[in-house]
Amino acid sequence: MDILSEIVANKRVEIEQPDYFQTLEKVVDELPHVGNTCDACDGKPARAATPDFIEALTSAPMGLIAEVKRQSPSAGAIRVPFEPAEIAKAYEAAGAQVVSCLMDKKYFGGGEDQWAAVRAATKLPMLYKEFVIDPRQIFHAEALGASAVLLIVAVLTDEELTSFIHLVQACGMTPLVEVHTEEEMKRAVAANAKCIGINNRNLKTFETKIETTLALRELAPADCTLISESGIRTADDIRTLKDAGIAAVLVGESLLRQPDLEQAVKDLMAV
Ligand SMILES: O=P(O)(O)OC[C@@H](O)[C@@H](O)c1c[nH]c2ccccc12
């Protein structure tokens, strides 16, 4: 079994544990409400508006989604010691537009505690970075104050993809639809995704190359916000992607490996 299938198989078991969505129930009642209701959310009031994901990203010449990632199946432990709040503060101070927070515990060392630490440390919009296979995860993201939710095309059927895109939108968040192949890009476009993340990393083999973005971007309609994800290391990479019409980048490892994070962000984004 490849790693992506393994992670998803584990996720299916995980989300059925009785305490998995505990926070959802605890948090929803305590959230500041804006009073408007969301049809898809059972008539429950939607939570206070979070900063808009696309607006934040497109406010810069090249948007940066900076990732809080303790470990990964491909890299192992990425930064030791790992301090989510300090990391988020450094990202914000250096001018990142969005913070991405891994929610998977077993493979990425993330989860609700990490989310809460980051949420408290920064005002920046946050991306709920998870292997979403169930609508409850989308309500969870909403309850936690996410601005955007990752939807990975490779782990969803067409029907799921379409209904999850609508659900994320109905909850006042932006679906970031992730693709890695031509076929997945076509499925994302057919599902009317308006914000597409091209993952340079093959989640089955871990092979990572920026050319993936350059090849797949051609297949996206002009009104789509395109984000290049994974394996982005240098200011030269950023220049290449900018010239190719990419609006934003999602970067974790290459930043997190630098002792001075704030400087690392500034050096990377110095275009
Ligand atoms: O650390 P990197 O190579 O800069 O990559 C960040 C991000 O793109 C990567 O963590 C990622 C992209 N899509 C995902 C889906 C699940 C987990 C992780 C990911």
Across the chain, mean pLDDT equals 92
pLDDT digits (tens, 9 = 90+) for 56-86: 999 999 999 999 999 999 999 999 999 999 9
Q: What single string gives the DSSP state of each residue in 53-106?
A: HHHHHHTSSSEEEEEE-SEETTTEE-SSS--HHHHHHHHHHHT-SEEEEE--ST
251 lines ligand 1 (CB under 6 A): yes
36 has pLDDT over 50 = no
* pLDDT confidence of residue 32: 46
Ligand 1 centroid, distance to 110 Cα (angstroms): 13
Taking a C-beta distance cutoff of 8 angstroms, is the pair 30, 48 a contact?
no
The answer, yes or no, to whether the previous bond of 81 is cis (omega within 30 of 0) is: yes
How confident is the model over 175-202, as a mean pLDDT? 98
Q: Which residue has the tokens 């050096």?
A: 267
Taking a C-beta distance cutoff of 8 angstroms, is the pair 233, 255 a contact?
no
38 has pLDDT over 60 = no
Q: Which residue has the tokens 């515990």?
A: 105
Q: Which residue has the tokens 């810069």?
A: 60
Atom of ligand 1 at shortest distance to CA of 131? 16
67 lines ligand 1 (CB under 6 A): yes
How confident is the model over 117-132, as a mean pLDDT? 97
40 has pLDDT over 60 = no
The conformation of residue 41, written as its DSSP 8-state character, comes to: G
For a pLDDT cut of 90, what percent of the chain falls above it? 85
* pLDDT confidence of residue 42: 57
230 lines ligand 1 (CB under 6 A): yes
Atom of ligand 1 at shortest distance to CA of 229? 8
29 has pLDDT over 80 = no
How confident is the model over 166-184, as a mean pLDDT? 98
Ligand 1 centroid, distance to 12 Cα (angstroms): 20
pLDDT digits (tens, 9 = 90+) for 142-172: 999 999 999 999 999 999 999 999 999 999 9
Q: Is the ipTM of this complex over 0.90?
A: yes
Residue 122 has a CB neighbour count (10 Å cut-off) of 22
Ligand 1 centroid, distance to 252 Cα (angstroms): 7
Q: Closest Cα to atom 7, ligand 1: which residue?
A: 230
* pLDDT confidence of residue 50: 83
**Residue with the larger pLDDT of the pair 6 and 23:** 6
Q: Is the pTM of this model over 0.90?
A: yes
Distance of alpha carbon 82 from alpha carbon 76, whole angstroms: 13
How far apart are the two ends of the chain, measured CA to CA in Å?
41
Distance of alpha carbon 165 from alpha carbon 189, whole angstroms: 12
- Where do the structural domains in the chain lie, given as residue ranges? 53-268
Q: What single string gives the DSSP state of each residue in 103-158?
A: --STTTS-SHHHHHHHHHH--S-EEEES---SHHHHHHHHHTT-SEEEEEGGGS-H
Q: Looking at the domain that runs over 53-268, which CATH code has it been given?
A: 3.20.20.70
* pLDDT confidence of residue 44: 53
Q: Closest Cα to atom 5, ligand 1: which residue?
A: 230
Question: Which residues does residue 45 pair with via DSSP β-bridges, in sequence order?
Answer: 37
Ligand 1 mutation target, pool 229, 237, 254, most atoms within 8 A of CB:
229
Question: Which residues does residue 213 pair with via DSSP β-bridges, in sequence order?
Answer: none
